[in-house]
Every structure is written in structure tokens, then in C-alpha cells.
Chain A
Amino acid sequence: MSTEQNNEPIIKTGVQNVAIGARDRPDETVLEATNLDVYYGDERAIDDVSIEIPETKVTAMIGPSGCGKSTFLRSINRMNDQIDAARIDGDLYFQGKNVYDEDVDPVALRRKIGMVFQKPNPFPKSIHDNVAYGLRVQGKDDDVNLDEAVERALRAAALWDEVKDKLDSSGLDLSGGQQQRLCIARAIAPDPEVLLMDEPASALDPIATSKIEDLIADLAEEYTVVIVTHNMQQAARISDKTAVFLTGGELVEFDDTTTIFENPDDNRVEDYITGKFG
């Protein structure tokens, strides 16, 4: 190595760039929080978080229980509005527009930002109607061929081959892993810009989990995926960017996933990911 003259880091990250070809374009920020606080009553769940989430990448949020990562996720599509005691301070921009401006209708916001939850929550309807639900409520069922749109979403969610012969049976008859993929299909059918995922695999067995993880990698070709996970190995496996929240709702470090897991800046992050804390 004596001939190595340039100033490149000794350990260069090769895999991430090689593996995901579609991600080479420069980062375009799609979501941006500046000095965001979220309170539940008097308790501060998110403490002065500023973050820029890039387009069509997988951004993972990790941290110990109660660190506010899910709260942050729910503040992006204003699902916190459902909780009376929740209060927001600071700004959160989606494509340059503050989503907490008075003229923003949270229903419209959620039509741009889909969400998948921790526990699979299919509706007690047929598989077809579950996927078509978003298109119907958003009034898009007239513009598109509904059956085609349902098939497209189910294919994108890697579920089509398993359910194509039983689209009329109840979504609740599927296995847990299939239900979660059904919920992903439901979320992406109306073609949102961003897909929020709140621990989407934590209720699933390892096989189903790895299917969801593969699916997330595929989805990131087209969508911006923001995923909360309590499983930091999962974040390591699937994300391009990782945000580490620690107790008190503080965003401690946000960087490329390789940097976070190989050479984090902050000692608390090092302690957390190596298991010395949390």
C-alpha cells in the first residue's frame, strides 16, 4: 500500500453503491424537518429534530423504545392529529411546503404520503377491495382500470402470485406476512410519493420479514421509504440512510447507513449500536 498516494479513506464503502444501481443520482430532499418538537401533553416526545430525507431512498429511524422515532414518523403524515393531546412546534416540509400550514388538509397530505403500520391491519374486505380502497376513497377509481391498478399494486408488493386466484376472499384469511404485504399494496395502490413504515416486520416471522425487506429494497426504486425499526440489523440491511434517535426524542446522528454502522460520529450512537447502551 506504499504506492497509495491519494487521500481517500482507508476503508471505502463499495457495496452500497454497486448493489443499488438506481440510487446513484444526487440526493433530492423530499421531506425536511427543521427544529421540530412534538409534545404529548406536557411531555416532549420529539426534541428539536432537524433532518433532510432524500428522495427514492430508504431512510431508517432507529433507537431504543420511547425514543420518539415512531412519533416522528407519525408527525410526517400528521397521524398525530388523531391524538388530541399531541402538539407540534417547528416546521416540517414536504416538497417545500410546510405540512403544518393552516391551508394543508391532512387528508390531502396522506394521499401523497402512504403509511404501513406495525401490526398488519387489513380491512375485513376482500383482497381486491382492500387494495382498491385507497383508489376508491381518493376518487381515482374512475380514472384508472381498477382491476389493473389492483394487480399492479399487488405485483409491486410481491403478493400477486400468491393471491391472484383468490382476490375475492377476505384479506383476513391471509397469513401475517401476506397481510402485511397486502397493507403495503393498499398503501402504494394510489401511488403516493412517500411510504412511511412503522416497524412493518416486527410482528412477522423471519421468512416473512426477509420478504418484506426485499420488498422495501424494490419499493425504494420508485418511492421514498421512511422506515422505523427497533431492529438495527434490519436498518443496516435495508437502508441507505440511518437516523439514530435516543431517549428524549433527540436525533443524535443522521448519515449514510454504512457510516452509522461502521464509523459513527457520536459516542452515544457507537454505544447504542454496539449494545453498550439501550
Chain B
Amino acid sequence: MRHLIKLAGATALVIGLSTSGFAAEKLKVAFVYVGPVGDFGYSYQHNEGRLAVEKALGDKVETTFLESVPEPDSDRAIEQLVRAGNKLIFTTSFGYMEPTLKVAAKYPNVFFEHATGYKRSANVATYSAKFHEGRYVQGVIAGKLTKANVIGYVASFPIPEVVSGINAFMLGAQSVNKDIKVKIVWANTWFDPGKEADAAKALLDQGADIITQHTDSPAPLQQAEARGKLAFGQASDMIRFAPKTTLTSIVDNWNDYYIARVKAVLDGKWKSEDTWGGFDANLVNMAPYTNMPADVAKMAADTEAAIKSGKLHPFTCPVMGQDGKEIECKGKGVLDDGQILSMNFYIKGIDDKLPQ
């Protein structure tokens, strides 16, 4: 029996050697999603990125994904992907941070990329997008279009990404409308159409005439549409869910980034680093400006172009804190990246207490 196993092992070895001798092996790339691919929001956009990699480099790579991986259960999922021979693994939710680092420490020859986290190691890179740039453009549009001067904001969790988004939105709005107010409801979820709809209803009842959201389902848009109000979409272009209501959507675009990182591994140039780009890096796009007068659409497009070219920074100093005191300016005339990435304060004019 033992001989048989040895023989089988030897045969497998020979076959393995001979096949790898004939064809260059494809690079195996894997993705871990927190939601279903069909959420039409966050995970959907990451999967679009995966498909873009297949399209661009299909002859050199093979991609795999695991969807709806629960965060407390992700250690094993990530390790399974390593054991299946994947050499580059993207883990796309904040909650995968510690598991990604744990698995990465065991497999120094595999490259990992963790989205939206802040801990790196020799073989773990991090990446995220400057979504707040899109929020600033939304703020400008909302400031121009609101008649009630009250905007409803459906927020998810009080983490820096969301807080800096609220502030950027407010700064954009204040740049065109000094009297504007933002009302915030914390839905405490990324994806829960029922809760998101309730939050939007509450905001509309309080007199908001434009709704914006930092949650992933189209439910708030649909509530706004039902009341004949206006709203912004999130993560993917959501206009099909509310054609008469959607002003624009912030669209996450991971395609270029994923292709570039896969190429880096193919060329042997992959490094552990942090990537944080916005309009300029083509990581954040705005969906077409719709349901608004041409002059507002032009203003929005100009603002987008100004941010893209670097002429305009959403957090240009002086930025006033909620108490009216000026925030220390650590960058060159702007708040620096570290300040934005760890933002846990509101700017002046926001009528809400930050949950601490």
C-alpha cells in the first residue's frame, strides 16, 4: 500500500513537472467580497474590477472570488484561497484586516491587498479611494438645487471615511449656499434596504428635499422618488432604480487599480504600499449629471474637473471645527491625508453630535 502511494506521488510529480514545462503557468488572483456579487453596490463594483482584470489580462491570469464571506469567518476563506494556489489576493472589506494580516504572516510569498484598512506588512498592501471628492461635488449640486435648505444624509457608521464624506459634502454645499443645513441619520448598517428606507423617510418628514447616502442599497433613492424629491446614488450608477430622482452617483472604479496591481505582480514589481486616489487616479467617477438644470450640471462638472486637476482641494484651509475654532492645517494650505484618513470631528455648520 505504502509503495502504491509513493508511486502515485512520483507519477503526480512527473506529470506536474512536465505540464509546467510546457506552458507558462497563469497567475492566480483571488477576491474576497463581503456581500453578494448581486448587491448592485459595493461588492458588485469590486467584481466589475475582477472582470476587467480578466478582460485585460485573461491570457496571463486566472481569477476566483468568494462572495458573502462573513468577517469573523474570513481567516479560513483567505487561507483556502492561498492553498488553492492564488498568488495575489484582494480582501475587500475593512473587517478582513486582522485575518488578512494573520494569513499573510504565514505565507510570505503570497501578495495581499486589503481595501479600506490601515495596517500593512511586507506582503500586505492597502488601498482605498477618496470618496470625499465625490461628496464635495454632490454638496455643490445640493447647495444649488435645494429649496428647503435642508439636506438629509443617510450615514452608515461613524468611521473616518464616512465623517470626512459628511464634512466634504457640507464644505461643497457651503461654497455655494451659506444657509444650508444637513440632517444626519445613522442607519448603523452598510446594506439593509429596510433600515435605509426608514432613515430616508424620517429625513424627508423633517423637511429635507434632497437625500444623500453613505449606505449601499438604492432604497433611499426610491423613497425620495416616491415623494417627488431628489437624491444621490452610491457606489454604482443607481439611476435605473430612480430615473426621475437621481442627480448623479459616486461610482467606485477599481478596474484600473486592479489591472495595475496584477500587472505589477506579473512584472515582479509588486510592493507593499498604500494607495489612496480619487478622481485623478480614476478610482472615483461621477455618473452622468441628470435631473438638474444645465448650469448646475456645468458647475458640477467644473468642480469635478478642478478637483481632478488639483486646482481645488475639498479640505482647503481654513477649515473651521464645529465649535468655530480653526482646525490645524497640517498640509500645504490644505488638511493633510493623515488628518482626513483619521477624521473624527465635524466642521462648522453641521447640526449633529458625532457619536463617540
Are chains A and B native binding partners rather than an unrelated pairing? no
Interface residues of B (CB under 8 A from A): none
